[in-house]
Structure 1
Amino acid sequence: MLTRFFGKSNPINYLILGIFIIAGYLGILLKTPLVVSAYQIFLHVSFIILSVLSMWLLDFIIRKNSLTKNNTYAILFFTCFMGMLPVIFLQPKILLANAFLILALRRIMSLHSDKNSTKKILDTSIWISLASLFYFWSLLFFVPLWIAIIQKPNTNYKQMLMPFIGFLAIFSITTAYHLLVNDSIAWIFNWQETINLDFSKYNSLSVLVPVTVILAFYIWTGMFRVLKLSAFFLKMKSNYLLLLYVSIICVFIALAGPEKTGAELLFILAPVSIIAANYIEKFEAERSYETDAIEFWFKEALLWLVVILPFVFLFL
């Protein structure tokens, strides 16, 4: 059963999920017109590796900050949600921006520890600024960064100002690059992307159905998380609340994008996957079965649903 298989952290789990991502990438690639060249092959291999590394990095963040128990539910959700929306693999800028934001998330979630706080804040602001070069509205990720700074112990005004230093560093380097290469700073005027609320592409079943499923998971498990916050210790509660704030900001990042293809939902997949994993792991598989068979089979059915749907959507 899936609850028992992914309820453990075994190397085979990572191998299976890595293969799943590669299969999803190749599946959507075969459905689109291909330009075969050494450069294109290099690009596709690079983005396949980036997609797999994003999954592994998310798992590292989870384990480092004890965001779930010792299982692989979160990366299972993350992988399957990506498979439901294979259009994600056709948007290299979104893949790159999301990878940088996951790196930023790693630092944000570690701010509960007061060790090397200034360095962590600077690193986070640099990752967010780099993400904004590929997807402008990634800059909204500074909001959870400042929330994390306020929540951390021994906050001071220098740490509150540190994100501006990281941003200005990337901004200055990028401007200098364009001056040297293009003899122009026109990139600044083209940097900000117009907010587009045209959701006409969501009329396609291949986009509408997976988006509905992912948002339903987010709302259902997010409400469960809010209702159960009082049961957590104070130290854990701050991280759980922070992850909720991150998920809300990620929704706004997705909504603010210049084009609505469904690929923009990649930004919410990491926090939603962790929140969904917390819901599934509420009871251990054996204990759930003994005390509440309905609860056990409901969660088992949810896992089967997210595993099967990517194969279904591939043919829509």
Structure 2
Amino acid sequence: MITSIFSKSKPINFIVVFFIVLLAFLIARAELVNETITMGLVFNELGMFFVCLGSVLLLNFIVSKNSLTKYGNYEILLFSLFLLALPQSIGSTNILLANFFVLLAVRRIISLRSQLYVRKKLFDAAFWIAIASLFYFWALLFFILIPITLLLYTDNKIKHWIIPFVGVGAVFVIVVSISVVWNNSFFGVFKSLPELSYDFKNYNTLKYLLFITILFSFGLWSSLFYIKNLKQKKKAFRPSFIIVIVAAIIATAIIVLAPNKNGSEFLFLFAPSAIIITNYIETIEETWFKELFLAILFLVPFVLLFI
């Protein structure tokens, strides 16, 4: 039943995803918001919900525009289910915003496939990643995607390698200018050095262990087929698929490095994982196995809600 609904792009798919995202957001924010309800708080939470929903729609745009999957909407279903399985992933406003800007950057990076407006896209990608790093420092690791993409397209133009650093520099100049105006100092905005932690004790609960086990087991299994099938992709599209797997590796590194391991750091992994798992689902020929695979992914979030 699930496959028959999401195997093709339909309006009902977005309606289902909307309510899953809404449920995940309400659960996440209900745990965090203990303040007196005011209009300012309501508008702030509405803004964060639209950022969350916008991330889902942005993922759908990236996938459909660059043919990263076939014509279904499995990727946005999986993304929304990941949010519901771990509502803490949208508990941090800073990471929610950082992930949105990273997706904007990934959109520009993958669109380099067309080889049109290359300089503008490189600048935009670096600019958005730098903006993301202002909200969450380790999002800066996604900058690695830019030189990797240039290598994949064997781009030897020196100016194309310099432009991304100009994009980062532009953000730095803007931030320093704001710091001078508001804090009367050049580096007042940069309050502290980046932190990291290898303390994983927060994951030592049944809910986290189940979620991590399912996400990484399904993700790793799907990745094997994803990498195996890369050679079958059209040569022009192959770099886009490689970028997705590299993004997943970077997101995993962020989870390992995250100074506060409260679940929100997993958000960076959801989009690439959704694309990778979707590609595997589309290769499954047995209908019963595809239904079972999706049913597990669909039911797990609701089971975890009661743990």
Place the TM-score, normalised by the shorter chain, in its bin: over 0.9
Counterpart-to-counterpart distance in 1, 2:67 and 2:140? 26
- Contact 2:66/2:111, CA 8 A, preserved across alignment: yes
Q: Give the superposed CA RMSD.
A: 1.6
Aligned counterpart, 1:23: 23
- Contact 1:114/1:154, CA 8 A, preserved across alignment: no
SS of 2:197 mapped into structure 1: coil
**1:194-213: CA deviation from partner (whole Å, max 9, x where unpaired):** 11111111012222211221
Aligned counterpart, 1:37: 38
Counterpart-to-counterpart distance in 2, 1:2 and 1:155? 46
Task: Give me the TM-score of the superposition, normalised by structure 1.
Answer: 0.92
Correspondence 1:127-276 to 2 at 5 A:
127-152=128-153, 154-187=155-188, 189-276=190-277
Q: State yes or no: 1:302 paired with 2:296.
A: no
Task: Give me the TM-score of the superposition, normalised by structure 2.
Answer: 0.95
Kindly state the Cα deviation for residue 240 of structure 1 after the two structures are TM-superposed: 1.6
Counterpart-to-counterpart distance in 1, 2:73 and 2:101? 22
SS of 2:236 mapped into structure 1: helix
Counterpart-to-counterpart distance in 2, 1:248 and 1:66? 21
Q: State yes or no: 1:100 paired with 2:91.
A: no
For residues 191 and 303 of structure 1, do their structure 2 counterparts lie closer, same or farther at Cα, with a shift above 3 Å needed?
farther
Counterpart-to-counterpart distance in 1, 2:188 and 2:78? 37
**1:235-258: CA deviation from partner (whole Å, max 9, x where unpaired):** 232222222112111211232221
Kindly state the Cα deviation for residue 89 of structure 1 after the two structures are TM-superposed: 2.3
Aligned residue type for 1:177: I
- Contact 1:101/1:131, CA 8 A, preserved across alignment: yes
For residues 213 and 149 of structure 1, do their structure 2 counterparts lie closer, same or farther at Cα, with a shift above 3 Å needed?
same
Kindly state the Cα deviation for residue 189 of structure 1 after the two structures are TM-superposed: 4.9
Kindly state the Cα deviation for residue 191 of structure 1 after the two structures are TM-superposed: 4.9
- Contact 1:126/1:166, CA 8 A, preserved across alignment: yes
Kindly state the Cα deviation for residue 30 of structure 1 after the two structures are TM-superposed: 3.1
- Contact 1:121/1:159, CA 8 A, preserved across alignment: yes
SS of 1:69 mapped into structure 2: coil
- Structure 1 gap segments, 5+ residues each: 289-294
Aligned residue type for 1:309: V
Q: State yes or no: 1:6 paired with 2:6.
A: yes
Identity of aligned residues (%): 35
- Contact 2:179/2:189, CA 8 A, preserved across alignment: no
Kindly state the Cα deviation for residue 138 of structure 1 after the two structures are TM-superposed: 1.0
- Structure 2 gap segments, 5+ residues each: none
For residues 186 and 78 of structure 1, do their structure 2 counterparts lie closer, same or farther at Cα, with a shift above 3 Å needed?
same
Kindly state the Cα deviation for residue 147 of structure 1 after the two structures are TM-superposed: 0.9
- Contact 1:133/1:191, CA 8 A, preserved across alignment: no
Aligned residue type for 1:304: A
- Contact 2:90/2:267, CA 8 A, preserved across alignment: no
- Contact 1:144/1:245, CA 8 A, preserved across alignment: yes
Kindly state the Cα deviation for residue 25 of structure 1 after the two structures are TM-superposed: 1.0
- Contact 1:195/1:258, CA 8 A, preserved across alignment: yes
Q: How many aligned positions are there?
A: 306
- Contact 1:280/1:299, CA 8 A, preserved across alignment: yes
Counterpart-to-counterpart distance in 2, 1:192 and 1:130? 17
